[in-house]
Structure 1
């Protein structure tokens, strides 16, 4: 059974279309992250699910029920906002119980649900405090607790960790993952932070300019990006891109570009690519390894003059440029202390099968 469905949903503000013809099915109990840059339409999508924005076209279903024209309170959802949205004059218990009191629930039921949620979130000792007496992390727990007590069909999170410092964000990510495992509720989570998406999501929905670019597990969107946009958006440091064309030389399939001629991966040769087709090659920084080789037909080689070395403990990020007219920048993540110094020339190799190949014009991945 689906927990949430969006069928042909469109959102316009005047003449501007911010969400375009969206179809999305989220399974019951799934944790789905809507990921994209600011202004891509992900928060607007969340607000349409919540009933805070009206869909210009299409239908929205929650647990099989058409909620498209229902008020937020009728949709059986609970939303956690970026700014917590706590009432400053109420203590924690009053904030958490507010929606239940509006619904006229019995006091005993309210007390039980608030107590259970507080225990789950380890905030029992904070129930009599006002929001101004709480840290950012504690306020976020209260906002989540207010959502839990309603026992909704769907939880909605809108950038809930963006106001927290890096250390607390990491801690709260783990807490949210544990909470979802415990409650098993359908969850839709909006963020621009790919680390949050990769660590929390059952599936990630990647947005760009109001359109879904790819839906997949964290592993799928990282290892098989559907487009240049997805490939460049997912992964830190970002993927390296190279312009190239496919050629056959002495019976060997090559990808030739400015300053390189690399063996084409087997999967690409099997597709019989056109020699005149403009291609964009993508290589993740993590795919490179230091090499003392001069290169062979089987192993590609990249010569790099080092511009920056960042030693990170277990790995080093090396950024340099190729000795070509364009001086293309390349980033490589190398294990341990890379022993690379500024202005040094180093050689890197990689497995051709780790290469991503895209049509330059359409941006579409050629790897099926």
Structure 2
């Protein structure tokens, strides 16, 4: 059993509370990503799990054992940092084996574990090199290998790919996914990069201002965001938002806003909002399609970003506020630049939020 639980965990620095009454249960073997903007409390949470920051209130358990006041070395965790933290005067093999040698493990056991980890990470040919002779990706593999040889109950990763270029980050994401599949260890991974979160996580924990906003699978947080914050944070390009009210006109229920009147999704009928309630509607750019015959909104295209198989267009509606709209269209849409594009969508793709609380109205 190597699950992890945070129960009513709070972290304060003086009078400032940076993590607020956090409850989180991570199952044995899960790969959970803590995702959020800089300063949201995700790295502080990871450091509390590791024992590098004291918990102001609450309890942390690993494998059913309360480790809230236990020293980092006694928590049976291994942490991989953003800056690799390798000893420059030691070769790769010595870096990987350092913790085991410090613990007084037999040489045969150390050599066996280092060789096994090096094989998994495909760095066996690098064991005699010094860190300065390695690329960024190779150094990160060594840092991960140093964690693997300890065979901990829980792996902790603190933005391990942020120092790599885009191509290498993509490669290392795949490597980490394969590594987790092989080892099956409970993993907590901190990042501000939603691509890393969506591609690696079994569940994502989305933070904002020291609070958990939503916990769910990548599919759940993308298709059913619990709040305006989550809806705007997850997804590239960013979700389109429109102000609206729920209206009854000639016996027909409509979502009416500046320059549009749309049919509500079927689920809204069970719990309709009041006519005075201010709503925010969300539409992902991927949900919009060109439809001259059945247009639900029209935008004048200001920008076209050609991405190969598709294009992102950005334009504005002909309304007093000039509502900005982004859409993903197939193929090369450069011919649409500075012209009007008529767009449609399925009402089922609408996300509806209470503007005041920011919470989703979807049951």
TM-score of Structure 1 vs Structure 2, range by shorter chain = over 0.9
2:155: which partner in 1? 155
2:339: which partner in 1? 344
Cα separation, 2, equivalents of 1:272 and 1:334: 32
1:10: which partner in 2? 10
Cα separation, 2, equivalents of 1:4 and 1:336: 46
Is the CA contact 1:306–1:340 (under 8 Å) kept in the aligned structure 2?
A: no
How far did residue 270 of structure 1 move? 2.4
How far did residue 169 of structure 1 move? 0.3
Is the CA contact 2:294–2:344 (under 8 Å) kept in the aligned structure 1?
A: no
How far did residue 338 of structure 1 move? 3.1
SS of the residue aligned with 1:196? helix
How far did residue 339 of structure 1 move? 5.5
Where in structure 2 are the equivalents of 1:1-368 lying within 5 Å? 3-295=3-295, 301-338=296-333, 340-368=335-363
Cα separation, 1, equivalents of 2:262 and 2:38: 37
1:298: which partner in 2? none
Q: What do residues 311-353 of structure 1 show as CA deviations (whole Å, max 9, x unaligned)?
A: 1111110000000010011000111223643220110000011
Q: What do residues 183-212 of structure 1 show as CA deviations (whole Å, max 9, x unaligned)?
A: 000000000000000000000000000000
Cα separation, 2, equivalents of 1:77 and 1:163: 23
Count of residues in correspondence between the two structures: 363
Q: Which moved more, 1:286-295 or 1:322-331?
A: 286-295
How far did residue 366 of structure 1 move? 0.3
Q: CA RMSD in A?
A: 0.9
How far did residue 266 of structure 1 move? 1.1
TM-score norm. by structure 1 comes to 0.97
Structure 2 runs not aligned, ≥5 long: none
How far did residue 294 of structure 1 move? 4.8
SS of the residue aligned with 1:101? helix
Cα separation, 2, equivalents of 1:220 and 1:341: 33
SS of the residue aligned with 1:268? helix
Is the CA contact 1:2–1:26 (under 8 Å) kept in the aligned structure 2?
A: no
